[in-house]
Structures are given as structure tokens and as C-alpha cells.
Amino acid sequence: MEKDYYKLLGLSRNATEDEVKTAYRKLAHKYHPDKAGGDEAMFKKINEAYQTLSNKEKRAQYDRFGKTFDGMGGGGQGGFDFRNFGGNGFEFGFDPSGFEDMGNLGDMFDAFFEGMGVKRKRRTYERGADLEFIQEIMLEEAYRGARKPITFKTHIVCEKCAGLGHFPKEGFTDCGACDGRGEIQESRRTFFGNFQQVRECKKCAGQGKIPNKICGTCSSSGRITSEKTLELTIAPGIADGQVIKVTKAGEMGERGAEAGDLYVRIRVKPHPVFTREGDDLLMREEMRLVDLLIHRSVEVKTISGEKISIAIPQTFTFGEEITVQGAGMPHLGSHGRGNLRIDLRVQIPKKLSKKAEDILKELKGEL
């Protein structure tokens, strides 16, 4: 069947863009399939005509060749693509009389899709919220790893009803508000006419049935607010600012829905002796000049609490760092360790006694 888009919209060949728009709106309104007296075949044809004539390029092609090349103009059976409906193929920049407000467009398309038999998902109960806490630890705990009990207020499962919010043993009654369907059909008035819209039944939350006995302890939510304690496992080597995720340890979901996750951000308290740089630990140690000269070693306490004696290399010069391999922080999740780096400060005596000066003078040739 040869189609004349201009004839279809009741337009002359030199109709302006505005005239195309106006004619289309009038006819779309008239033939909309959800409207009494609507005509789906006509509605599709009108849309097809409009898709072509409202687009400068397509219209030029159509005028020249009697068709367009992207498939929209051909076929004649269901060439209208509903996915185009909310996109550029349609224009809404007109006086929205007939719309309740422009914000309802989304609803209108929902209604449109539902009218086309697109099934909407039934409601599932809300997942519990994720929770985030900050946990302070000592550097020693970060070094060894730790198990720390943490206590927080959250939603937990209602024990009375095992999180269901009701008692299934007591049976169910079909919901009177939706006749057991879980959804309610509503008529909505839009620019295109009246739509049948399906919405979830609020009374039974889309379930179609109502429990005969609900749980009073949790007011049927399946969860109660309570303090919860769990033991947090902190792996050796954890660093300041790292986050531990405990899956499903967050807020309990509504009526048995999935729990949220728990995120614990670790704060490592500043240490009086050590500062951390990656997995290396830095410390400053002071020693007397005489100890440097006589003992050539220094004793320090490491992060593990162990006292170690470190030989000072012959090549040592003031301001040089002394490194103790493997005496730093453990690498998180692997064997290896960082190093302990000692900033060794040698105290030069401010004032020498007469005796010390005399001895040093004697030693002058030896040093």
C-alpha cells in the first residue's frame, strides 16, 4: 500500500514544521489505542508519518524518493518503535494542557509499557542499609593483627517472628483492596487519553494476601533496633585509613530482605616512638658520643617489644640512617616485612670537664 504521509496527517506538501506538529498531536490524541474509539493501526501510521515529516533530513528524503532509508518509512506493519517514544522522536515543548504536570511523563510511559503487556517487577522488601564506622587501633595492634569487639546500634532480626514480621502458621487472608492480585488498576488521564495503569497494592505491599497475625514486637517489619556486637578481625599490617568490609553485617533488611554491609575504617593512633612510611617504621634514637666511640652499638626496642642491639657500621657518618631489615610492619596479606629505619642522633657534649679535656688532649694523636 502506498502511503502518503502528508495525506495521512491532512497536510499539504509545503506544511511548516509547526503545522506538522499540530496535525500530529491532534491525530495521535484521536487514534490513541487506549482511548475509547482509538485505532492502533492508524495510531502507528500517524506516528510513522510524524517520525519522517518532523525530521528535516528524513522529510527531504521522503519528498525526493517517496520513502526514507532507515526503515521507519517502510514495511507498514508495526514500523513504530516504542523505544523512540521517550526519546528524540517525540517532542513535548508544547502547552501541556491535558497533562497533570510535566513531571508525570515518566509515569505516563510506565503506564504505556504496562498497557503493552510489559510486566512490572513485584516489590521486594528493602535491603538493609550499609553502615560505616571508624575504629581506632594502636600501631602495635596494626603490627600484630587484632580481634576487636565492636558494638553499635542497628536493626537486627526480630527473634519473635524470625524476621518475617508475621506468623505464617496463623494463615493468610486474601487482600480485600486488590482482590488478592497484589496490584491495583488505575485510570490515568494524559495527553494521549486515558491509560490503564497498574500500581502495587499498598495494603498488602503487593503480596495479594494479608497475614492473619502480625508480629507486635517489630510492628511487622521483621526487625528491631538493638545494640549489636561483633568481633572485628584486623589483619597484621593494616594501615591507617584502610576499610574493612564485613559482608551482610550492616543493618538487617525489612522482613527477611538482605542485610546491608558493614564498613569499618581503621584509624591508627599516632605512636610516641614510631612513624610509619609504607611498611617501614622510622624512629629517632639518641646516643652519647662516648658510647658511639667505645661500644659502636646501640640498643633499641622494636615495635614487637623486643630489645635488640644494633652494631653501628664502621662507615657510619652523622646524619646517616641505620636500617634494620625486616623489623618494620608486616606487608598486609603477604609474608615479608618492612624495615626499621633509625635516625641516629649523636649527642656532642656541650661542655667538657677539665679532666675530660686533659684526657682528650692526651688522646689527640690516637683518634
Sign of the CA dihedral running 52, 54, 59, 60:
negative
Helix crossing, 56-65 with 40-53: angle to 10°?
100
Residues 238-267 touching Zn ion, rule: CB under 5 A, are none
The verdict on 201 binding Zn ion (CB under 5 A) reads yes
Q: Which helix (H) or strand (E) holds 139?
A: helix 139-144
Among 217, 242, 302, 323, binds Zn ion (CB under 5 A): 217
Among 203, 213, 265, 331, binds Zn ion (CB under 5 A): 203
Nearer to Zn ion, 79 or 180 (CB): 180
Any idea which residue has 634494620 for its cell? Answer: 324
Region of 19-27, 149-157, 207-215, 301-309 interacting with Zn ion (CB under 5 A): 207-215
Nearer to Zn ion, 117 or 216 (CB): 216
Nearer to Zn ion, 161 or 264 (CB): 161
To the nearest whole angstrom, how small is the minimum distance from the Cβ of residue 220 to Zn ion?
7
To the nearest whole angstrom, how small is the minimum distance from the Cβ of residue 208 to Zn ion?
6
Cα distance between residue 228 and residue 78, in whole Å: 59
Among 53, 139, 178, 298, binds Zn ion (CB under 5 A): 178
The verdict on 213 binding Zn ion (CB under 5 A) reads no
Cα distance between residue 76 and residue 73, in whole Å: 8
The verdict on 156 binding Zn ion (CB under 5 A) reads no
Specify whether the CB–CB gap between 43 and 49 falls below 8 A: no
Cα distance between residue 353 and residue 359, in whole Å: 10
The verdict on 198 binding Zn ion (CB under 5 A) reads no
The verdict on 157 binding Zn ion (CB under 5 A) reads no
Looking at the DSSP bridge assignments, the partners of residue 330 are 337
Q: Could you tell me how far CA 43 lies from the centroid of its own chain?
A: 42
Q: C-alpha grid cell for residue 263? A: 564498613
> Which positions lie near Zn ion, rule CB under 5 A?
158, 160-161, 175, 177-178, 201, 203-204, 215, 217-218
